[in-house]
Amino acid sequence: MLDILTDRTYRHLFLAQVVALLGTGLATVALGLLAFDLAGDSAGMVLGTIFTIKMVAYVGIAPVAGAFADRVNRRALLVGLDVVRAAVALCLPFVTETWQVYALVFVLQSASAGFTPTFQATIPDVLPDEARYTRALSLSRLAYDLENIVSPTLAALLLAVMSYNLLFLGTVAGFVASALLVVSVLLPSPSAGARRGIYDRTTRGIRIYLATPRLRGLLALNLAASSAGAMVLVNTVVLVRGQLGLNESALAWTMFAFGAGSMLAALALPRVLDRRVDRPVMLAGAGLMIGALVALAFGIRLAGLNWPLLAAVWLGVGLGYSAVLTPSGRLLKRSAHPEDRPAVFAAQFALSHACWLLTYPLSGWLMTALGTVPALLGLAALGSVGLVLALRLWPVGDPVEVPHRHDNLPLDHPHLQGHREHSHPLVIDDQHPRWGAKF
């Protein structure tokens, strides 16, 4: 897997992702402490509002940013957005009111909503070979999981010698380092497609996404992943600290079990996907998550909650979570031409976070109002809805390249420019409701 780091461009981009994630992790810890300073016992409400603002920015801004990503130099765009994020982080230590936090977080997350999908859409252009790209996706998943472990540890060490406000300087350093790494390499910027109106460009990524069966299936699997993930991320602290009465170290190890499962899956997936197609692997991952939640519910009902059971289940949820999310970039790459990839990756970014916008509050409400077992079964049921929809929406035998013909296309359609897409061997009408992709 690590051999892809010999590619200088990808190596710099991967390191940019790692340092930016570490900076973001430090900001997450610092924001929690800042919220407590500003709001005291109402800090939970402040943090809940911050997370809501984050999701709203992701859902609302990402499609707009994706619509214009092919109109500007990709390296300049990524560096500019990193600079914006660094500037916002630099302002956070000086806020004195909660509304100032909300405004700065909205700007910060809006910049991230433009940066992340554009960054993700760049990787398949840097690594066009699918086997190498699959390994890059696994490394990216590992980076996210390691950030969940390393950032809180680093924050704890730094807080022993400095105030939490200085953690924001670590965030600034992370974004500045990311910008320097991005600017140090040349990035491919696919030529812009045909000129379109603002509405058409803004909605194009989502229209391509929702017209493509495999991506409709991916959206359904995102619902399953967010259902199980929300149970872990929202309610683990209640289960460990509240119901089991364990200390903060036990909480950290419980979250480590989830991250360890995700990392194990990410390490195994490149070899698995060399021999298996994506659909059964991702469906199995969703089934594993749902089964793990149901198993924990029945385990609690029969013998009560205990830490070894919880850790083992969270390990299983992590395995399934990574099996669903890691291959998703392969589906997005196959379902859009290079000039449309930023818009399609932005659509995935927005729609997947819309799922989280539903499951985050639902998970908290179910746990608070109905208890642990109903929360587990309720989220497992919602995840099952996603799995069933994925089975129905994503056809068995889905081809790697969606076949099509060019009948009834407008003269300015990119497929007709120089007949550059005529080499596909099979023909199915672009308007056929079962296909609809790559247009």
Decide if 406 is inside a domain: no
Confidence of residue 5 (pLDDT cuts 50, 70, 90): confident
Instruction: Of 143-152, 217-226, 367-376, 416-425, give the lowest mean pLDDT range.
Output: 416-425
pLDDT for the residue 353? 85
220 and 346 co-located in one domain: yes
The DSSP annotation for 72-123 comes to: S-HHHHHHHHHHHHHHHHHHGGG--SHHHHHHHHHHHHHHHHHHHHHHHHHH
> Where residue 239 sits, what CATH number does that domain have?
1.20.1250.20
Decide if 201 is inside a domain: no
168 and 225 co-located in one domain: no
Distance between CA atoms of 376 and 228, rounded to whole angstroms?
8
Of 351, 380, 350, whose CA–CA distance to 363 is shortest?
380
pTM given for the model = 0.77
Average pLDDT over residues 230-236: 85
293 and 368 co-located in one domain: yes
Q: Please give the single-letter amino acid code of residue 304.
A: G
Range of the domain at 49: 7-190
Whether 141 has a pLDDT exceeding 60, the answer reads: yes
pLDDT for the residue 413? 43
Beta bridge partners of 405: 429
Decide if 274 is inside a domain: yes
Report the range out of 56-70, 182-196, 324-338, 425-439 with the highest average pLDDT.
324-338
163 and 248 co-located in one domain: no
245 and 376 co-located in one domain: yes
Domain final residue pick, 159, 190, 221: 190
Average pLDDT over residues 334-355: 83
pLDDT for the residue 195? 56
263 and 331 co-located in one domain: yes
179 and 226 co-located in one domain: no
pLDDT for the residue 194? 54
249 and 171 co-located in one domain: no
Decide if 80 is inside a domain: yes
Give 407 or 370, the one with higher predicted confidence.
Answer: 370
Instruction: Of 83-87, 166-170, 398-402, give the lowest mean pLDDT range.
Output: 398-402
Confidence of residue 275 (pLDDT cuts 50, 70, 90): confident
Domain final residue pick, 370, 394, 418: 394
The pair of structure tokens assigned to 420 is 């550059």
Give 285 or 208, the one with higher predicted confidence.
Answer: 285
Decide if 405 is inside a domain: no
50 and 178 co-located in one domain: yes
Instruction: Of 15-24, 225-234, 282-291, 340-349, give the lowest mean pLDDT range.
Output: 340-349
120 and 218 co-located in one domain: no
pLDDT for the residue 437? 41
pLDDT for the residue 418? 37
The pair of structure tokens assigned to 400 is 């790697």
Average pLDDT over residues 300-317: 94
Give 318 or 416, the one with higher predicted confidence.
Answer: 318
Where b means 16+ CB within 10 Å and e means fewer, 303-341 reads eeeeeeebbbbbbbbbbbbbbbbbbbbbbbbbbbbbbbb
Confidence of residue 69 (pLDDT cuts 50, 70, 90): low
Decide if 307 is inside a domain: yes
180 and 298 co-located in one domain: no
pLDDT for the residue 309? 95
pLDDT for the residue 70? 62
Decide if 403 is inside a domain: no
Question: How does pLDDT run across 393-439, given as a tens digit for each residue?
Answer: 998 876 655 554 434 444 444 433 433 333 333 323 333 333 344 33
Q: What percentage of the chain exceeds 70 in pLDDT?
A: 82
The pair of structure tokens assigned to 103 is 């405004």
Counted domains in the chain: 2
Decide if 128 is inside a domain: yes
114 and 176 co-located in one domain: yes
Give 125 or 85, the one with higher predicted confidence.
Answer: 85
Of 328, 335, 311, whose CA–CA distance to 436 is shortest?
335
Do the Cβ atoms of 325 and 141 come closer than 8 Å? yes
